[in-house]
Structure 1
Amino acid sequence: MEDERLLEMERYQMEQIRELDLEELQVEEVDDLHDSSDDDLGAADRVYGGAASSVEFTFNTGLASLHSYLGEVEDTHRRMAFLEGGAILKLPLFVLEGVVLFPEATLPLRVIQPNFIAAVERALTQVDAPYTLGVVRVYRVTANGRTRFATVGTTAEIRQYRRLEDGSLNVVTRGQQRFRLRRHWTDVEGVPCGEVQIIEEDQPLRTPCDAFGKLTPCINLRSHMQSHMGSLNASRAKLHQSRVEDKVSDSNSEESFESALSVAERRIHHSVVDPSYGCTVMDESTSSDDEEFLSESDLQFRRPFQNDSESIGSLQVDCKTQIETAELGLGNSSNSGKKSSKGEELDRCWRKTDINQFRRVPRAFWPYWVYRMYDSYCLAERAADMWKKIVGAPSMDGLVRRPDLLSFSIASKIPVSESTRQELLEIDGISYRLRREIELLESVNLVRCKNCQTVIARRSEMLVMSTEGPLGAYVNTHGSVHEIMTLYRANGLALIGRSQIEYSWFPGYAWTISSCATCETHMGWLFTAINKRLKPRSFWGIRSSQVADDMQKH
């Protein structure tokens, strides 16, 4: 039922394309297009802001996503089941420069070279993964002129194809699964092949339901530590008070003994049996240690999380045991010397206590906002909302409950350079990919020429001309695939040659090659309406492979 609905929609769109082809060709002059009225630019601004229902925007964006310039292509009626994560298999490869394919994205191909024609033929008949190609981006190393393969690519399922009279093939593929390229070679027939391992995608992360409420957040642990310190100090004060009382009770019996001693003997006696001197010194030193500990612990709470198996509980038990032992010793009145030595032993134990044990506290329960930073569903909702405000179409709201698909959908449509898109493809982890995409969406960047850094446009001047989004892949008659971002305004570009209407990626528009006016690099094309009822009257298609990587915010 769904396939019938899609076929009916395609037939309707093809009728619209034929009507546009029958219109009287009336290509506007380029000078007039640069002087577009404010109404046209205002309409483009409204489209960029997400209000695609503006009456000034009359182009049917569904036509571009059909790739009708390829002619009639036959549906293979094959839907390849997803391969198991970690599976290793051999696939014929399509190595493309300036193109990054993502799962669920469409990739059109015009296959002219014999070795790639053989690669498609092999993909149609192979047993392990029928109708499947491996698509890998290649880097051109300018130092020695050689090319380098990316380590991560995407499997592409052949959905439609047509064999032309000259032997070439028109193919429409769709991205399926990411893979890691283990090795690649060219077989005896000249077919590029590769051994790939399917990447096992992780599951979307969600904040555990029991992550809150059982323990207070880590930020409240400081007050707990200070209260524990207070209880220990209170125990020590109680111990000291017991010593004072014992000394008062024994003072009367010692007075008669001391009176019979000489001054020198009395001094020796005090130094041996009187613990007050040592106790005073230790009290002063321990007091300074307490202040040092509080300042150190206060700094510790401002440090990042440290995973440690020790906890404050063990220290609390040890100190409590020492205090109880000392109190039992004080209760024994048979020997005051032992009482004093036990008290001094406790003070020494306290002073030698490793205060790092207080720092090694398990911090497993964080505030809610910390968990939200890596909750895939929260990030998906935030990314979809930002996409709606910044880009507008297509809407990502329907994918919020599928963060994995949403992350790939945004990555395949976000208008950034090809190297940045390759970076997004290589990120393992849905949450990390979404966080990077949110960072890119938050940046209001300038579009610069990759070679000379000339400012071409602002990304705020994006224009969505396809249901695929503001960036899409298209193939020309020579078989070169280009990923272009569409903009309603551009600067610093020069036009080369005359307008052409054949093989136009956007039905109803003629195209003219454009280059950077500074370094003369091929930057893209200017598309102009061939009849006055199409809006916008003109727009630019800029190659993502020629956009600089730097992220400018001004």
Structure 2
Amino acid sequence: MEDDRILARERQQMEEIRELDLEELQVEEVDDLHDSSGDERDLTGRGSSDEYTFNNCLASLHTYLGEVEDTHHRVAFLDGGAILNLPIFYLEGVVLFPEATLPLRVIQPNFVVAVERALTQVDAPYTIGVIRVYRDPDNGRIRFSNIGTTAEIRQYRRLEDGSLNVVTRGQQRFHLRRRWIDVEGAPCGEVQIIQEDIPLRAPRDAFGAVAPFSKPGGHHFSRILPSNNSHAKSNESMDVDNDSEANSDESFESALSLTEREIHQSVVDSYYGSDTMDESTTTTSSDDEKSQSQLQGSQSKDSESTDSLHSCPENNNVDLGSSSKSDMQSCKQKEPDRCWRNTDLKQFRRAPRAFWPHWVYRMYDSYCLAERAADMWKQIVGAPSMDSLVKKPDLLSFYIASKIPVSESTRQELLEIDGISYRLRREIELLQGVDLIQCKTCQTVIAKRSDMLVMSSEGPLGAYVNSNGFVHEIMTFYKANGLALIGLAVSEYSWFPGYAWTITNCATCETHMGWLFTATNKNLKPRLFWGVRSSQVSDGLH
């Protein structure tokens, strides 16, 4: 009987939607609706702080769900690599990140069973798994993502009709190993918790572990020093140092994965591309002498080549500090022994102890990237101080990924990136590249990034659930274009208290794009704003 009632309700809803589709579209541009008087916005398109009277904390509380009871239970984080079974929620159009809030209106009996099981399970109580599902654009078949996020049940309430209102919060990423439906119809899955990497300051580790001047080809200075008896002891000492440096190089490279080693090698080759052997260099008889002759310089004869290798340390691209150009030029005219006797070999040790220059390491330093991403985010969204998140690059990367105004497929891509620095770099690229928000179906420009509006304390993008249990992730904008209004404004079950909502479709292809929210109180500001579904936003960067 319960199933029949739910099916009847769903059929009635579909009939109502069809009737709305048959109605004549009421296309109204934002500029026509918006009262521009007193509309003073800063360069990012946001209104001044004293212009708003809406309390954006209300939206993050999801008050439309009614009273929900706190579970008073906080889940401890699971160890990386842990394998366990969890009830799974498969949600279309939703990508859940750690620390993000996800409200649920649980109506279907099988998902009600899944929540009840999560409340009592032993391995991970009050925990469910959330996986994004999507339709294959080629054949329309449902596809399941392999990476999801565990969600902790923070609040819930059982209603008289047996349904549940639930508020959850993202915890940890996981791999979905396998999935099934149990005997009670509840969706379940075997998941493996992903081990997150620890944000480190790359330069300190890299410079401390890598010996100086070590690069492919191994130019060791001990081998190019003059080998007469007066310097035998010095040469022996230098050989010992170079052996330790070579071992350090090998240990550094052995610790890299195959992909990292290829990237490392390409950058090293590029950085030292100018340090190649001159075509006029004469080939020597032994392998050691061949490697020695690869130092830069102009050598035309065998004897002259040996002398120049001994007498010109500047050919190794080393800054000798106090050695002036005139000293180096006069050095070429002196005997090799006297030249090296006057050279302070300690100056070589003052060169950077790394394969790459310092700026390369900063490109992948989690903390440097976090500062850059936070600065860009503040410029775009106008968020308050993010210093606490900058100190935690992993949480910052998840925060931006969960709020950035891009399509759900792009945010799923961000969820699947393992390295903190790689995720931050991708987010910086997106923040730089995203300008226009376009319809996924027909590419009509709907809004601009500069028109983003923060109507929730959690950011310009958030998840909300309607009375029928459908979860929508929406971006909020100060103004939008090319949208058609469908039907009348409705105040009931509004995600933003004090605002009525009106369904909006793309005026070109009639795809459901979101809602227009209009204030029901004349003292409430902003007077209106738009909510655009992230699932209907184009994947491309514009």
TM-score over 0.5 for the alignment? yes
**CA displacement, residues 91-122 of structure 1 (integer Å, 9 cap, x when unaligned):** 01000000000000000000000111111011
| 1:102 alignment partner, one of 97, 102, 106 | 97
| SS of equivalent to 1:99 | coil
1:494 & 1:74 partners in 2: Cα distance?
39
| 2:74 alignment partner, one of 66, 70, 79 | 79
Whether 1:388 aligns to 2:378 is yes
Where does 1:248-263 land on structure 2 (aligned, <5 Å)? none
Matched pairs, number? 418
Residues 167 and 487 of structure 1: CA distance in aligned 2, closer, same or farther (over 3 Å): same
| 1:319 alignment partner, one of 276, 280, 289 | 289
| SS of equivalent to 1:153 | strand
1:399 CA displacement: 0.8
| 2:197 alignment partner, one of 178, 202, 211 | 202
**CA displacement, residues 475-526 of structure 1 (integer Å, 9 cap, x when unaligned):** 0000000000000111100000000000000011100000000100000000
Which residue of 2 is the match for residue 131 of structure 1?
126
Residues 539 and 89 of structure 1: CA distance in aligned 2, closer, same or farther (over 3 Å): same
Which residue of 1 is the match for residue 484 of structure 2?
494
The answer on whether the counterparts of 2:203 and 2:358 sit within 8 Å (CA) in structure 1 is no
2:292 & 2:70 partners in 1: Cα distance?
82
**TM-score normalised by L of structure 1:** 0.68
The answer on whether the counterparts of 1:47 and 1:54 sit within 8 Å (CA) in structure 2 is no
| 1:443 alignment partner, one of 385, 410, 433 | 433
Which residue of 2 is the match for residue 36 of structure 1?
34
1:204 CA displacement: 0.5
The amino acid that maps onto 2:474 is: I
Where does 1:276-355 land on structure 2 (aligned, <5 Å)? 303=270, 318-319=288-289
2:268 & 2:76 partners in 1: Cα distance?
51
Which residue of 2 is the match for residue 164 of structure 1?
159
Deviates more, 1:93-102 or 1:56-65: 56-65
Where does 1:169-248 land on structure 2 (aligned, <5 Å)? 169-209=164-204, 211-212=206-207
1:211 CA displacement: 4.7
1:533 & 1:88 partners in 2: Cα distance?
53
Whether 1:141 aligns to 2:136 is yes
The amino acid that maps onto 2:489 is: S
Which residue of 1 is the match for residue 417 of structure 2?
427
**CA displacement, residues 301-351 of structure 1 (integer Å, 9 cap, x when unaligned):** 863689xxxxxxxx999339999xxxxxxxxxxxxxxxxxxxx9999x9xx
The answer on whether the counterparts of 1:185 and 1:192 sit within 8 Å (CA) in structure 2 is yes
1:391 CA displacement: 1.0
1:146 & 1:209 partners in 2: Cα distance?
49
Name the structure with the higher helix share: 1
The answer on whether the counterparts of 1:217 and 1:366 sit within 8 Å (CA) in structure 2 is no
2:169 & 2:501 partners in 1: Cα distance?
26
| SS of equivalent to 2:89 | strand
Which residue of 1 is the match for residue 460 of structure 2?
470
**TM-score normalised by L of structure 2:** 0.70
The answer on whether the counterparts of 1:107 and 1:473 sit within 8 Å (CA) in structure 2 is yes
The answer on whether the counterparts of 2:203 and 2:365 sit within 8 Å (CA) in structure 1 is no
The answer on whether the counterparts of 2:69 and 2:157 sit within 8 Å (CA) in structure 1 is yes
Which residue of 2 is the match for residue 150 of structure 1?
145
The answer on whether the counterparts of 2:59 and 2:496 sit within 8 Å (CA) in structure 1 is yes
| SS of equivalent to 1:421 | helix
The amino acid that maps onto 1:90 is: N
1:79 & 1:409 partners in 2: Cα distance?
20
The answer on whether the counterparts of 2:44 and 2:451 sit within 8 Å (CA) in structure 1 is no
Whether 1:512 aligns to 2:510 is no
**CA displacement, residues 400-432 of structure 1 (integer Å, 9 cap, x when unaligned):** 111111111111111110001000000001110
Whether 1:121 aligns to 2:116 is yes
2:497 & 2:512 partners in 1: Cα distance?
23
| SS of equivalent to 1:34 | helix
| SS of equivalent to 1:103 | coil
The answer on whether the counterparts of 1:217 and 1:367 sit within 8 Å (CA) in structure 2 is no
| 2:62 alignment partner, one of 58, 62, 67 | 67
1:215 CA displacement: 6.3
| Long gaps (5+) in structure 1 | 1-28, 236-298, 307-314, 324-343, 350-357
2:435 & 2:291 partners in 1: Cα distance?
63
The answer on whether the counterparts of 1:394 and 1:468 sit within 8 Å (CA) in structure 2 is no
In angstroms, what is the RMSD of aligned CA positions? 3.9
Residues 322 and 451 of structure 1: CA distance in aligned 2, closer, same or farther (over 3 Å): closer
1:322 & 1:134 partners in 2: Cα distance?
60
The answer on whether the counterparts of 1:156 and 1:175 sit within 8 Å (CA) in structure 2 is yes
| SS of equivalent to 1:303 | helix
**CA displacement, residues 280-318 of structure 1 (integer Å, 9 cap, x when unaligned):** xxxxxxxxxxxxxxxxxxx99863689xxxxxxxx9993
**CA displacement, residues 338-394 of structure 1 (integer Å, 9 cap, x when unaligned):** xxxxxx9999x9xxxxxxxx9xxx994322111101111111111111111111125
2:302 & 2:390 partners in 1: Cα distance?
63
1:484 & 1:417 partners in 2: Cα distance?
10
Whether 1:405 aligns to 2:388 is no
| 1:379 alignment partner, one of 366, 369, 374 | 369
2:144 & 2:267 partners in 1: Cα distance?
46
Residues 210 and 504 of structure 1: CA distance in aligned 2, closer, same or farther (over 3 Å): closer
| Long gaps (5+) in structure 2 | 1-26, 229-265, 274-284, 294-300, 307-315, 317-351
| SS of equivalent to 1:55 | helix
Deviates more, 1:54-63 or 1:210-219: 210-219
The answer on whether the counterparts of 1:155 and 1:177 sit within 8 Å (CA) in structure 2 is yes
The answer on whether the counterparts of 1:186 and 1:193 sit within 8 Å (CA) in structure 2 is yes
The amino acid that maps onto 2:201 is: R
1:206 & 1:104 partners in 2: Cα distance?
24
Residues 408 and 210 of structure 1: CA distance in aligned 2, closer, same or farther (over 3 Å): closer
Residues 206 and 321 of structure 1: CA distance in aligned 2, closer, same or farther (over 3 Å): closer
The answer on whether the counterparts of 1:47 and 1:464 sit within 8 Å (CA) in structure 2 is no
Which residue of 2 is the match for residue 266 of structure 1?
none
**CA displacement, residues 99-157 of structure 1 (integer Å, 9 cap, x when unaligned):** 00000000000000011111101101111111100000001124444211100000000
Residues 393 and 545 of structure 1: CA distance in aligned 2, closer, same or farther (over 3 Å): same
Residues 226 and 76 of structure 1: CA distance in aligned 2, closer, same or farther (over 3 Å): closer
Identity percentage of aligned residues: 71
2:502 & 2:292 partners in 1: Cα distance?
87
| SS of equivalent to 1:85 | coil
